[in-house]
Amino acid sequence: MTTHVLGDTGTLTGRSLRHILRSPDTIITTAVTPIALMLLFVYVFGGAIDTGSTESYIDYMLPGILLITIASGVAYTAYRLFLDMQGGIFERFQSMPIARSSVLWAHVLTSVVSNVVSVAIVVGVALIMGFRTGASVGAWLAVAGILVLFTFALTWIAVIAGLSAKTVDGASAFSYPLIFLPFISSAFVPTDSMPAPVAWFAENQPVTAIVDSTRALFAGEPVGTDIWIALAWLVGIMVVAYAFAMSVYRKKVR
């Protein structure tokens, strides 16, 4: 049974990836917005922002930009899922001897692959702009693990949106709050510079813990408890979103 599910998921993931290869503009579009934000913050606002740190501003803000990149990218998962629902692809697959869950997992894995490519592009541009890190191989792997887990968590939220939306615009609109969330965190300015109510929210929402952990890993500094808080948030969001997505899916395709 497990081999059957894995084989079906692999085949359907290949199908989704081929669609992206035929339309690479989705990955390029996903990377354009965060790159534009990097240029804006580093070369326009960066000189006026005091982070209280000796590191360059691009080193400080890159973790938040990477999260925005992923939040932008998962919108395309909801979009592709919505098109498959509207095009009758799910009903066609349902009539075939394939594992039902493999259809969703194919979209999720495709999201992970495409977002990894987008993140790599953004990191490459950041290096050109002056980003430097003394992170060890282990730290880079830890950063990659956090970003992949973040992608999984957000992608399952995207699956819910793609299955539940009534229009194409509605399928991708869910990502707007996710893209905005890093701006109310420690991603671009220290939280202690914010008004008290905003600072409280910023310090207690998941993005701050994720950003602080990633920033510490890039800087080769101890991550403290932030990484455990970040992992707890990510695993919790992923489990809840997965359960809800599967519930919606069963109602849609029964």
Instruction: Of 1-10, 44-53, 166-175, 237-246, give the lowest mean pLDDT range.
Output: 1-10
Note the pLDDT of residue 2. Answer: 47
Q: Which pair of structure tokens corresponds to residue 15?
A: 């199908």
Q: Which domain holds residue 237?
A: 2-253
Q: Report yes or no: 139 and 51 within 8 Å, Cβ to Cβ.
A: no
Per-residue pLDDT band at 23 (split at 50, 70, 90): low
pLDDT digits (tens, 9 = 90+) for 27-72: 677 788 899 989 988 888 766 676 666 678 899 999 999 999 999 8
Mean local confidence (pLDDT), 85-101: 62
Helix axes 137-164, 57-86, angle to 10 degrees: 30
Q: Which pair of structure tokens corresponds to residue 186?
A: 């420690």
Note the pLDDT of residue 149. Answer: 95
Q: Report yes or no: 162 and 82 within 8 Å, Cβ to Cβ.
A: yes
Note the pLDDT of residue 42. Answer: 86
Q: How many residues does the chain have?
A: 254
Residue in the block written with tokens 């992970």: 112
- Distant-in-sequence, close-in-space partners of 211: CB < 8 Å, separation ≥ 6: 63, 64, 67, 182, 185, 186, 187
Total count of domains within the chain? 1
SS (H, E, C) 168-219: HHHHHHCHHHHHHHHHHCCCCCCHHHCCHHHHHHHHCCHHHHHHHHHHHHHH
Mean local confidence (pLDDT), 15-32: 71
- Distant-in-sequence, close-in-space partners of 175: CB < 8 Å, separation ≥ 6: 71, 72, 74, 75, 78, 158, 161
Note the pLDDT of residue 43. Answer: 85
Instruction: Of 22-31, 40-49, 169-178, 211-220, give the lowest mean pLDDT range.
Output: 22-31
pLDDT digits (tens, 9 = 90+) for 152-163: 999 999 988 888
Q: Look at phi and psi of residue 173 and say left if phi exceeds 0, alpha if psi is from -120 to 50, else beta.
A: alpha
Q: Which pair of structure tokens corresponds to residue 222?
A: 């101890």
Q: Cα–Cα distance between 115 and 66 in angstroms, integer?
A: 10
Mean local confidence (pLDDT), 222-232: 92
Q: Give just the sign of the alpha carbon dihedral 176, 231, 28, 168.
A: negative
pTM: 0.88
Residue type, 79: Y
DSSP letter, residue 48: G
Per-residue pLDDT band at 1 (split at 50, 70, 90): very low
- Distant-in-sequence, close-in-space partners of 82: CB < 8 Å, separation ≥ 6: 162, 163, 165, 168, 171
